[in-house]
Structure 1
Amino acid sequence: MESLFTLRDFYGKLSLPIPENIGKDIGHFNVFNISEYRARLSKGEMRYDRRSYYKISLIHGKNRAEYADKTIDIADKALLFASPKIPYHYVPQDEEQSGYFCVFTESFLSKDKSGIILEKLPLFQPGGFPILNISDDEYEEVEQLFKKIERELSSDYAFKFDLIRAYVTELLHLGQKLHPIQSQENNKNASIRITDLFVELLERQFPINTPSQGILLKTANDFSERLAVHANHLNKVLKETTGNTTTAIIHSRIFEEAKILLNNTDWGISEIAFSLGFEEVAHFSNFFKKHAQLSPLKFRSALKV
C-alpha cells in the first residue's frame, strides 16, 4: 500500500508554517510559484504517493511524470490535475523549471460552494489521463489565471475566496475541454463494470468532512446489496480485477481515511470512530492497531513529534 502524503507533510517539506485552517470545514487553499517551491526542496523531486488533497499544476520545463500505472514525458508545457485517489509524482529532467500550482481540499471546492462535484470529473477518475501537454497560447491563458489567483490570495478583498473558487473552477473547465477523449470499449466486460461501480460507491463516501457525516456502506454485504449481486460473486470479481477481496479493499480505504482524520483534524477518537462506521471505539482501536501496529492515539502523537 502506498503511503499518504498529507497537507501537513507538504508544508513540512517546504519548511513552511502549517496554516490554521487545515482540517477545518471551511477547507484549505494555497497557490505557489514552482521556481520558489523548487528552491525549498533538496532535489526538486516529489515522492510517488497518494495525496490527501487536490492539486492543479501549470508546468513549464522538461519532466517525466508517473501517474498511477502511466509514465508521461512532458516536453515543455503541461497541465497536471491530481486527486487524493491516485498516487503520482513528476521528476524534472532539466534545471529550467517554472510555472504555478495550487493545492486545495474538497471542502474548499465543495458542490455547495462551486457547483462542482470533484470526484465526478473525468479529470480525476481512475484510469483517466490528467496530464495534458498544452500550447504556448494555452499556457499563457492558464498562467494569467494563476497570477489572478496569486494576486487575490494576498489581497484584503472580503470575498477573495469566492473569486478564487471561480478561477479554480475555470481551470477545471479548461482542463475538461483539453482532456483527450479516451476510447471506450463497447464490449467492456461485466467484471470491469462491477469493479468500477464498486469503486465509485466506495469513494463516494469520502472524504469525511464532519464527525456527523458517517459512512453507510461498511461491509461486503452492504456493497453487494447496493450493486444487486451476490456477495460471493462480488468478491470473486474483485479478486480477479484487483487481486484483493471486497473486505480488504473496504478496510484499506477506511484505514487510509482514519490516518487522514487523525493527522488533519482535532476530532476525538470516538468522533473519528463513529464517522468511519464503528459503533464502539474499542473496535476502531483494534482495527487501526491491526493495520498500523499503533493505537490511534499513539499514531496521532507520533505525528506531532
Structure 2
Amino acid sequence: MAFQETSDIPGLNLEDLRLTGFKVHKLSATAAVPVRAGRRDFYKMGLVNGDMTIDYGGQLLEIKGTVLFFVNPKVPHSIVRRVNRTSGYACIFTESFINNRELQDSPLFSIGDNPVVVLNEEQAAFMTGIYQRMVSIYSGDYPYKAGLIRNCIELIIHEALRIQPSQNALPVRNGATRIYHLFVDQLERQFPIERSTEPLKLRTAQDFATDLSVHVNYLNRAVKQVTGKPTSVHIAARIIAEAKALLQHTDWSIADIAYALGFEYPAYFNNYFKRIAGTTPNSFRKV
C-alpha cells in the first residue's frame, strides 16, 4: 500500500507548517488516518470514525467506531486494512509549537502507551465540537489563533488522559516487542549508505535510545528479551554487513568506507572489522 506523504494532505504547505507550527483540517471521506511517511518532526492527533487496522510501531491496533488517535513522530505507522471509508478531523503540529514539556511527554505521545482512545457517544460529540472549533479558528483571520489552537490541543490531550489513564502496565512482552521493532526500523533506515561523505549517525545503543526517547537500559532489556542478543550485537552485525557490501561493490577506499560507517580513523574500522568478521577489510576485498 502506498504511504500518504505530508504534501498529500489537502491544503497543506510544508513551509507554512514549519513557520506556523500547526495545521488543522477535516478528513475527506476517502482520506486515510495519519499514516507512515518519511517526515519525523510532526506530532499528529486525529478524531477518526471508521473500521480499520493500523500497524503502530510493530503493534496492530484495531480501530472501530470513533476514536482519538495520537501519533509520536518517531513511531512508524501505516494502515494495514480499512473496511470502510473514514471520516473525522486531524491536527498536525511541531514539537516547538507545543512548548509545554509535560504535554510533549504525556503518555499519549510516549512510545510505550496505547495511542488509541475509544470514545463513547457523549465523548465523541464533545471532541467533535472542539475539532470543529479548531477548523473554524484555523481558517479565520484572528491574529492570535495560534494561542487558541494550542489551548484546544492541550484540552484534547487532558480530556483524553482523563478518559483513558496511562496504560504503561501493558504486558511487558508487548512493550518490548514494540521497542524492538522501532529499534530495527531506525537501524535499517540508515542503510544502504550511498555517499561516503555522510557518516552513519546512529552507531551505539545510547544513540538509538536517545533517538527513540527511551532510556538505554530499557532499550537493551527490550532487545535482549525479544531476540536473546544484546543491542550492540545487532548494531555490529548490520554495520559489518554494510561494510562487506561496500568493500565488494564499490571502489571506495578503506578510509572512505570507515568514515561513512562512522569511524573517525581507518585503524579503528580495521580493528572493528577484524574482531567481528575475522579478517581485515583489505583481505576481505581481495577474496
TM-score (normalised: structure 2)? 0.57
> In structure 1, what is the equivalent of residue 26 of structure 2?
33
Out of 88, 92, 101, the residue aligned to residue 82 of structure 2 is 92
Find the counterpart in structure 1 of residue 232 from structure 2. 245
Indicate the residue corresponding to 2:194 in structure 1.
none
- Following TM superposition, by how much is the alpha carbon of 1:93 offset from its aligned partner in structure 2, in angstroms? 1.0
Shift of 1:142: 0.5
Give the deviation of 1:170 after TM superposition: 0.5
- Structure 1 gaps of 5+ residues are 200-216, 225-230, 253-281, 289-305
Unaligned runs of 5+ in 2: 184-201, 210-215, 240-255, 263-287
* 8 A contact 1:51–1:83 mirrored in 2: no
Structure 1 pair 154–69 and aligned structure 2 pair: CA distance change class (3 A):
same
- 1:1-305 mapped onto 2 (5 Å cutoff): 9-11=5-7, 13-14=8-9, 16=11, 18-24=13-19, 28-35=21-28, 38=30, 44=32, 47-49=35-37, 51-52=39-40, 53-90=42-79, 91-95=81-85, 97-111=86-100, 116-118=102-104, 120-182=105-167, 184=169, 237=221, 240-241=224-225, 244-245=231-232, 248=235, 286=260
Partners of 1:31 and 1:149 within 8 A in 2: yes
8 Å contact kept, 1:54–1:104: yes
- Aligned-pair CA distance for 1:73: 2.2
Structure 2 Cα separation of the partners of residues 284 and 46 of structure 1 = 38
The alpha carbon displacement at 1:176 in A equals 1.1
> Greater CA radius of gyration, 1 or 2?
2
- Cα shift at 1:50: 6.9
* Offset, 1:182: 2.8
- How does the TM-score come out when normalised to structure 1? 0.54
Native 8 Å contact 1:50 1:84 kept in 2: no
In structure 2, give the amino acid aligned to 1:286: A
Alignment match, 2:187 = none
Matching residue's letter, 2:111: P
2-structure distance, mates of 1:47, 1:222: 26
Question: Per-residue displacement from partner, 1:215-241 (whole Å, max 9, x unpaired)?
Answer: xx99668999xxxxxx9x999757514
| 2:48/2:87 contact within 8 Å kept | yes
Give me the whole-angstrom Cα distance separating, in 1, the residues matched to 2:103 and 2:136. 26
User: Do the aligned partners of 2:34 and 2:44 also contact (CA within 8 Å) in 1?
Assistant: no
Quick check: 1:79–1:134 contact (8 Å CA) kept in 2?
Answer: yes
1:22 Cα shift?
4.3
Aligned residues: percent identity?
22
Instruction: Name the counterpart of 2:196.
Output: none
Distance 1:51 1:183, change over 3 A: same
| Deviation readout 1:157-214 (Å, 9 max, x if unpaired) | 111101110001101111111225537389x89xx8xx99xx9xxxxxxxxxxxxxxx
Q: Which amino acid aligns with 2:153?
A: V
- Alpha-carbon offset, residue 10 of structure 1: 0.7
Structure 1 CA distance for aligned equivalents of residues 84 and 208 of structure 2? 47
